[in-house]
Amino acid sequence: MSNRGNSTPATPSINRLTLVTRKEAADVMAVSIMHIDRMIKRGDLDVVRIGPRGVRIKVASLRRYIND
């Protein structure tokens, strides 16, 4: 089955997501993942923990940080 004519992008837009990975957040902000980790540790970004190692960043907190 072909995806031609399908308007859904292969990679979801950040506008449609509620959670993003550390790498996605770093790409959006043009910083390193290590910098994102420091921001999380300081409490600058709200996260959701997924299991013992998984972390997702709330897009709302990312937007709030960027707009402040």
Domain boundaries of the chain, sorted by first residue: 18-67
Mean pLDDT of the chain: 85
Mean pLDDT over residues 52-66, rounded? 94
Strand order across the beta sheet in which 54-58 lies: 19-20, 54-58, 47-50
- Determine the pLDDT at residue 9: 52
Which band of pLDDT confidence, cut at 50, 70 and 90, is reported for residue 49? very high
pLDDT at 10 over 60: no
- Determine the pLDDT at residue 15: 61
**CB contact at 8 A, 41 and 52:** no
**CB contact at 8 A, 36 and 45:** yes
pTM above 0.95, yes or no: no
